[in-house]
């Protein structure tokens, strides 16, 4: 009996991690499974993957997939800084950050925004449940105005929408999805990884323990009833042939830096994912109508990523030695003489 | 007239911040240095872009004393706002070069005045309207050159040196200096005893370097490839020098490729976070900051300590809690940095006492950090970091980088993948790590700031936690013996003196007046040599530039109970670099030990 393997010769099990310690039914566990599927199908080499996270339920999940990869569970809201530094040290690594709504939209909002501003080449997944699970159910900054807490308290503040923030900053890849919508999440994760630059993927991921009741706008039932996908998304990796067979005018294709393609099939109104203004508009309209708009909102495949802008060599900085880094004896002597 | 006083005087220029006076000060400094005379400049500047008073003290001694003097021999009064107060600082018999318009009615009669119409001269003799304000300061250089007898060739050398990158500026500046020089010749005869004469024997082979320049050079020679920082006085110039030197030494000549990344972060949290991320991924990484930034870096420093990630953190200390006095010096971060972050965190701290050590410790900090897989703090200060110091030329490193215990793919194959990230196989507390990107199925592990066992697995187990913390102690103990040991200079005196960092210059000078043995601490945790030194002396004074005697406390904690009463504390904390007098006076009054 032969096991099925992917293009780098690994079975799906090679992408699994430790057993989850999150609640049964947690949206984050679904996302973990979507991640395993996406990484397996993409054929990501585990040793080149760097799993980064901050603090919170979401930030525990990197332990639950690709156990053989390196992971760094840092401090609250600071995953972007660690990710930026690690990426600069070694451009070969595939940086995959997992964060939550508290980690991103509250304590980590500054770092989130500055990472986007720099367009650091990484995937940034927000497992967004609108609540602080580990500290037992306080509202987070992504909770909608008027959303009700389990014990009855009503949220009186405007939400911070990580996608709207990202778009306002000119983020080069912005998407939203729902943990229960694997058909959409998996191709979006693949596209985010293939994209060169900061890819933000805000995934609404219900907290079954503290935020899955009537009156919450982050519950399974609310999201299922209100999700409105702007286009069917599929992903064709660079190592597969493109054979799109749709009626003219019904699909849009986005070619990514590595030769992969995102194929978007129209549903209802046509959304141009390269139009940032349109992306902001579609989010705002959805909000006004009480819908959760999901799908690939915006992508810019031309923007220079941080390491390229900084002219960092492809050869990892970590591998440079004395010959690359020390002044020569002559340069050093010349340098000292200039102080005289 | 009294006997001439040669090459032993302190000039103080009182000017207005942002007026270009610093360039004039540096030209004067370089001209005197060119005469073979030792110089020790101290720049006292405000936290301000333009308009507030600023002072530049240029100490000149035949011996080459580097500490600040608390006496002024020659005042150059250029700032009307501080004129009355500045006049009070001049010693009896001193010289006052001042703007003619400043009133000397009912002023002191025990000093020599040279009144110069600087403003009028600038207006009539400097043609360029745009440069007049800047060049006006140069006129004072000419007058001082006249008063003290600085040869014109030294002035020319200094101007050329100062404007190395802008040779076009040389003639206009020389012209402005000539205006002052000529005015002196034409209008005054020498009334005071101060003179400068070319000399030999002290400055040969020496150069003038700021500590932050030295540290930047050290970091580059130490192999830094990722620098993340946030601007803060008095630390900014360190990273700015790294940038300037990187453009010159780390940039591919054909393709513009950079063998270093310097990131101006959004704040100090991100700055140290990026450095730690880079250190984790295997680069030599650093950040540099000062007090307020150090406070912000506390959380991440704890992560790097506990998760055992190499990173080098420079703290160029300024004085005060909170914002304090941003442009004044101190040694007030010692205790805080040593245990920066919550919950039994403890760090390796290097304490450079000279600019040469700023270079060496900056360079070697990367070796210590890689070797012990922990943050290494380099504690400098504003005085050391931002002032020019006379120093022997730095030495080229003879040793290769020490990257510490890193397992490669080949190592893992030999071990058949049997390793644990936090397993202490050598008994020294230092464990092996792998870097992300190592192509072996056993290479990966999960780094975390939460509780972990030898295999880097999450645990809240009591035994595992205590075991790990004990190992971290053992690691610090190993490191303690490897860090730079104290420098001891003793001749069997009854009284000893302990200091660290930039206090060194004042101690060297004080020891010409009082006979005391001397131990200079160069790293934390403290070496056993400190307790032994105390044991060999009846009394030991610990001199430092902070209010509460932070090193004094740390030394007492390290002493056996019977020695604790032998140590006493001398503290200086007004934001000005400590002068020798601040050591000599308390020592003399308590010990009566003339040399």
Name the residue in chain B with its Cα closest to that of A56: B450
- Residue A128, domain member (yes or no): yes
pLDDT band at B1 (very low <50, low <70, confident <90, very high): low
Residue A340 in domain = no
The C-alpha atoms of residue B163 and residue B132 are separated, in whole angstroms, by: 17
| Residue predicted with more confidence, B164 or A127 | A127
- Across the interface, whether the CB atoms of B283 and A89 are under 8 A apart is answered yes
Q: Is B357 helix (H, G, I), strand (E, B) or coil?
A: helix
E strands, B274-420, are 285-289, 311-317, 348-350, 375-381, 388-392
Residue-level pLDDT at A241: 85
**A292 within a domain of the structure (yes/no):** yes
Residue partners of B365: CB distance under 8 A and separation at least 6:
B218, B219, B222, B286, B312, B350, B376, B378
Asked if A54 has any chain B CB less than 8 Å from its own CB, the reply is no
How many angstroms separate the CA atoms of B288 and B280, rounded? 18
Q: Is residue A336 part of a domain?
A: no
- For B544-579, write each residue's pLDDT tens digit: 999 999 999 999 999 999 999 999 999 999 999 999
CB count in 10 Å sphere of residue B81:
12
A60: its two tokens:
């525990």
B255: confidence class by pLDDT, cuts 50, 70, 90: confident
Determine the Cα–Cα distance for residues A259 and A263; give it in Å rounded to an integer: 13
Number of independent structural domains in chain A? 1
Enumerate the β-bridge partners of residue B97.
Answer: B76, B114
* pLDDT-derived band at B371, boundaries 50, 70, 90: very high
Chain A CB contacts of B449 below 8 Å: 73-75
What pLDDT digit, counting tens, does each position of B87-103 carry? 999 999 999 999 999 99
Q: Does the beta-carbon distance from A82 to B450 stay under 8 Å?
A: no
CB contact under 8 A, A86 and B280: yes
Report the percent of chain B where pLDDT is more than 70: 99
Sign of the C-alpha dihedral computed for residues B445, B451, B453 and B457 taken in this order: negative
Q: How far is Cα A127 from Cα A142, in angstroms, rounded to an integer?
A: 11
What is the distance between the alpha carbons of residues A47 and A66, in angstroms, rounded to a whole number? 9
Residue A35 domain flag = yes
Question: Which CATH number do you get for residue A217?
Answer: 3.40.50.970
Strand order in the sheet with B53-60: B39-44, B53-60, B9-16, B72-77, B90-99, B112-116
Dihedral sign of CA atoms A28, A31, A37, A41 in order: negative
| Residue A4 lies inside a defined structural domain of this protein | no
Q: What is the pLDDT of residues B127-147, one digit of tens each?
A: 888 888 888 899 999 999 999
Measured CA distances, B467 to A100, A136, B72, B445, B470 (Å) = 32, 31, 59, 19, 5
Q: Which whole-number Å values give the CA distances from B207 to A340, B131, B232, B392, B492, in the listed order?
A: 4, 30, 27, 6, 34
A178 is a domain residue = yes
| CATH superfamily, region B5-204 | Pyruvate-ferredoxin oxidoreductase, PFOR, domain III (3.40.920.10)
pLDDT in tens, A140-173: 999 999 999 988 999 999 999 999 999 999 999 9
State mean pLDDT over B436-440.
98
Segments of chain A with pLDDT less than 70:
1, 244
- Tens of pLDDT, residues B21-40: 889 999 999 999 999 999 99
Decide: B5 and B68 in contact? Cβ < 8 Å: no
Tell me the average pLDDT of chain B: 96
Q: Is the dihedral of CA B479, B484, B487, B492 positive or negative?
A: positive
- CA dist A235 and A251 (Å) reads 13
Question: Given this model, what pLDDT does residue B123 score?
Answer: 93
> Do B142 and B31 touch, CB atoms closer than 8 A?
no
Give yes or no for a contact between B13 and B44, defined as CB atoms under 8 angstroms apart: no
Chain B touched by A310 (CB under 8 Å): yes
The CATH number of the structural domain formed by B209-392 is: 3.40.50.970
B406 close to B432: Cβ distance less than 8 angstroms: yes
Residue B572 CB coordination number (10 Å): 22
- Written as six digits, the tokens of B541 are 């004074």
Best CA proximity match to B411, nearest among B372, B440, B371, B446? B440
Task: Evaluate if pTM is beyond 0.80.
Answer: yes
**What mean pLDDT is predicted for residues B52-62?**
95
Nearest CA in chain B to A310: B261
Cβ A70–B436 below 8 Å, yes or no? Answer: yes
CATH 3.40.50.920 fits B487-591, yes or no: yes
A residues 7..36 contacting B (CB < 8 A): 18
**Which residue segment(s) compose the domain that A31 sits in?**
12-317
pLDDT at position A249, please?
Answer: 82
Q: Is B47's pLDDT higher than 60? A: yes
Asked if the model's pLDDT at residue B50 lies above 90, the reply is no
Domain ranges of chain B: 5-204, 209-392, 409-464, 487-591
The answer to whether the beta carbons of residues A206 and A150 sit under 8 Å apart is no
Quote the strand ranges of B126-222, DSSP E.
194-195, 206-210
Residue A331 lies in a domain: no
Per-residue confidence band for B594, with pLDDT thresholds at 50, 70 and 90: low
> Quick one: pLDDT at residue A1?
55
How far is it, in rounded angstroms, from Cα B153 to Cα B291?
43
> Chain B residues with CB inside 8 Å of A47's CB?
436-441, 443-444
């Amino acid at each position: 009996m032969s096991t099925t393997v992917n293009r780098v010769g690994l079975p799906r099990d090679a992408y699994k991690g430790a057993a989850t310690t999150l609640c049964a039914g947690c949206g984050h566990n679904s996302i973990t499974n979507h991640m395993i599927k996406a990484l397996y199908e993409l054929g990501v080499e585990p040793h080149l993957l760097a799993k980064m996270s901050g603090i919170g339920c979401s930030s525990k999940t990197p332990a639950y997939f690709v156990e053989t990869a390196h992971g760094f569970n840092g401090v609250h809201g600071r995953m972007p800084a660690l990710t930026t530094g690690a990426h600069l040290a070694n451009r070969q690594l595939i940086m995959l950050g997992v964060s939550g709504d508290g980690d991103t939209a509250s304590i980590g909002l500054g770092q989130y925004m500055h990472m986007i501003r720099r367009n650091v080449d990484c995937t940034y997944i927000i497992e967004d449940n609108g609540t602080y699970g580990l500290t037992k159910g306080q509202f987070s900054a992504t909770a909608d105005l008027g959303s009700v807490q389990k014990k009855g308290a009503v949220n009186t503040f405007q939400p911070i929408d990580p996608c709207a923030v990202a778009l306002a900053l000119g983020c080069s890849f912005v998407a939203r999805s729902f943990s229960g919508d694997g058909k959409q999440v998996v191709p979006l994760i693949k596209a985010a990884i293939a994209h060169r630059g900061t890819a933000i993927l805000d995934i609404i991921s219900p907290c079954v323990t503290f935020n899955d009741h009537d009156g919450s706008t982050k519950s399974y039932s609310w999201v299922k009833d209100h999700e409105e996908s702007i286009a069917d998304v599929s992903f064709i990796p660079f190592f597969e042939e493109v054979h799109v067979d749709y009626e003219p005018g019904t699909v849009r294709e986005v070619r990514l830096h590595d030769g992969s393609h995102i194929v978007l099939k129209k549903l209802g109104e046509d959304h141009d994912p390269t139009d940032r203004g349109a992306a902001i508009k579609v989010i705002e309209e959805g909000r006004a109508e009480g819908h959760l708009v999901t799908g690939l909102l915006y992508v810019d495949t031309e923007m220079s990523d941080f390491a390229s802008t900084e002219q960092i060599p492809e050869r990892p900085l970590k591998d440079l030695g004395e010959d690359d880094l020390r002044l020569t004896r002559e340069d050093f002597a010349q340098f000292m003489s200039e102080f005289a | 007239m009294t006997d001439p006083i040669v090459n032993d005087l302190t000039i103080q220029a009182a000017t207005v911040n942002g007026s270009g006076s610093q360039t004039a000060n540096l030209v004067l400094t370089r001209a005197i240095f060119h005469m073979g005379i030792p110089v020790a400049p101290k720049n006292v500047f405000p936290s301000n872009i333009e308009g507030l008073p600023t002072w530049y003290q240029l100490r000149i001694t035949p011996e080459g004393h580097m500490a600040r003097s608390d006496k002024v021999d020659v005042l150059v009064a250029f700032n009307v706002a501080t004129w009355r107060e500045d006049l009070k600082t001049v010693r009896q018999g001193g010289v006052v070069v001042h703007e003619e318009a400043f009133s000397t009615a009912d002023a002191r009669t025990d000093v020599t005045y040279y009144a110069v119409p600087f403003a009028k001269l600038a207006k009539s003799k400097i043609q360029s309207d745009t440069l007049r304000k800047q060049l006006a300061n140069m006129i004072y250089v000419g007058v001082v050159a006249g008063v003290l007898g600085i040869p014109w060739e030294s002035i020319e050398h200094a101007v050329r040196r100062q404007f190395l990158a802008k040779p076009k500026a040389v003639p206009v500046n020389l012209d402005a200096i000539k205006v002052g020089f000529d005015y002196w010749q034409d209008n005054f005869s020498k009334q005071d005893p101060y003179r400068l004469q070319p000399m030999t024997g002290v400055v040969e082979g020496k150069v003038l370097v700021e500590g932050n320049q030295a540290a930047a050079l050290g970091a580059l020679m130490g192999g830094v490839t990722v620098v993340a920082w946030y601007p803060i006085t008095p630390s900014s110039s360190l990273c700015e020098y790294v940038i300037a030197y990187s453009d010159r030494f780390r940039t591919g000549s054909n393709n513009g490729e950079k063998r270093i990344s310097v990131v101006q972060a959004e704040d100090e949290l991100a700055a140290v976070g990026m450095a730690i991320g880079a250190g984790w991924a295997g680069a030599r990484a650093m950040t540099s900051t000062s007090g307020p930034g150090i406070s912000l870096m506390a959380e991440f420093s704890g992560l790097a300590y506990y998760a055992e990630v190499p990173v080098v953190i420079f703290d160029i200390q300024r004085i005060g809690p909170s914002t304090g006095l941003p442009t004044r010096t101190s040694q007030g971060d010692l205790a805080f940095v040593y245990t920066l972050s919550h919950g039994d965190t403890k760090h390796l701290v290097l304490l450079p006492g000279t600019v040469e050590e700023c270079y060496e410790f900056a360079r070697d900090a990367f070796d210590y950090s890689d070797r012990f897989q922990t943050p290494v703090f380099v504690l400098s200060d504003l005085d050391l970091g931002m002032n020019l110091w006379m120093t022997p030329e730095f030495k080229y490193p003879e040793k290769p980088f020490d990257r510490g215990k890193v397992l490669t793919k080949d190592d893992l194959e030999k071990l058949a993948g049997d390793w644990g990230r936090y397993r202490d196989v050598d008994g020294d507390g230092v464990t092996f790590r792998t870097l992300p990107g190592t192509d072996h199925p056993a290479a990966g592990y999960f780094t975390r700031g939460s509780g972990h066992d030898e295999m880097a697995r999450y645990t809240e187990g009591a035994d595992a936690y205590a075991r790990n913390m004990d190992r971290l102690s053992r690691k610090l103990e190993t490191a303690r013996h490897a860090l730079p040991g104290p420098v001891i200079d003793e001749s069997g005196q009854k009284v000893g003196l302990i200091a660290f960092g930039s206090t060194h210059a004042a101690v060297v000078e004080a020891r010409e007046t009082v006979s005391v043995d001397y131990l200079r601490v160069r790293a934390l945790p403290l070496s056993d040599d400190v307790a032994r030194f105390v044991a060999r002396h009846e009394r030991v004074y610990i001199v430092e530039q902070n209010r509460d005697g932070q090193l004094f406390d740390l030394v007492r904690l390290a002493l056996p109970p019977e020695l604790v009463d032998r140590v006493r504390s001398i503290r200086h904390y007004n934001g000005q670099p400590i002068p020798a007098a601040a050591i000599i006076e308390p020592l003399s009054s308590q010990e009566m030990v003339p040399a």
